[in-house]
Amino acid sequence: MKFFIDTASVKEIREAASYGILDGVTTNPSLLSKEQGEPLAILKEICSIVDGPVSAEVVALDKDGMVREALDLVKIHPNIVIKIPLTKEGVKAIRELSQKGIRANATLVFSSNQAMLAAKAGASFVSPFIGRLDDAGHVGMDLVREIVTIYGNYGFETEVIVASVRNALHVVDAAIAGAPIVTCPFNVIELMFKHPLTDAGIKKFLEDWDKIKKRGQA
Ligand code: E4P
């Protein structure tokens, strides 16, 4: 299973990369808007930190505009993957980019039908938005299970990126569903480390070790 981080914060990406568990990065216009600095420069810096796919999203709504933006974005670094919303124009753009050998990540995916269209168009990645489905009263993870099954049934090579992750349980459920990739906000990566029994265990080990040292001094 690959772990991506879902942020445009260079600080968070540097920190998560230092753990040695990071396989890629996903950004979107909202995440980039939270950061100071020019988006292309930020994306370039991100690519210098993480050696893996870095998703950068187009904002044009028509196929030609999407492809034009994609061609500019891929100049940043060979690891750039073009994030394209799953619309009719988006599907056309994904097809054209895949024919040019440019990897696309079909984003804002909320149904298995959309995920099938992304795969048929040749998307390298598909991003079902789990948290936003949960927020709207659906079980987001059901969608992940469906897509993983459908892609398996037909041998589609498009990789599922479980996106819009809100908590550590989403990560476990994504793994149980067999999703190849999960993209987590920084706070969820931090939560994955935490367990009170680990902290309590370390405290006890150190206290007992101290007893040994004191015995030696007596
Ligand atoms: C996915 O690639 C998106 O960047 C992201 O996961 C959206 O998450 P949100 O629903 O928390 O905004």
CATH number at residue 20: 3.20.20.70
Among 55, 121, 53, 56, CA closest to 86? 121
The Å distance, Cα 165 to ligand 1 centre, comes to 7
What percent helix, strand, coil does the chain show, rounded to 5?
Answer: 55, 15, 30
Query: How many distinct structural domains can be found in the chain?
Result: 1
Structural domain that includes position 16: 2-217
Tell me the mean pLDDT per 10 residues along the chain, length 218.
98 98 98 97 98 98 98 98 98 98 98 98 98 98 98 98 98 98 98 97 98 86
2 Cβ partners below 8 Å, 6+ apart?
A: 23, 24, 52, 180, 181, 182
Residue 205: what are its φ and ψ, rounded to 5°? -60, -45
Q: Tell me, yes or no, if 83 is annotated catalytic.
A: yes
The one catalytic residue among 11, 44, 75, 83: 83
In angstroms, the Cα distances linking 88 to 30, 55, 95, 121 are 22, 20, 11, 11
The Å distance, Cα 52 to ligand 1 centre, comes to 18
Closest-CA residue, ligand 1 atom 7, reads 164
Q: State residue 216's pLDDT score.
A: 79
Query: What residue ranges line ligand 1, CB within 6 angstroms?
Result: 6, 26, 28, 107, 127, 129, 131-132, 163-164, 183
Q: State residue 8's pLDDT score.
A: 98
Cα dihedral sign, 198-202-205-208: negative
Cα separation, 137 vs 135, in Å, equals 6
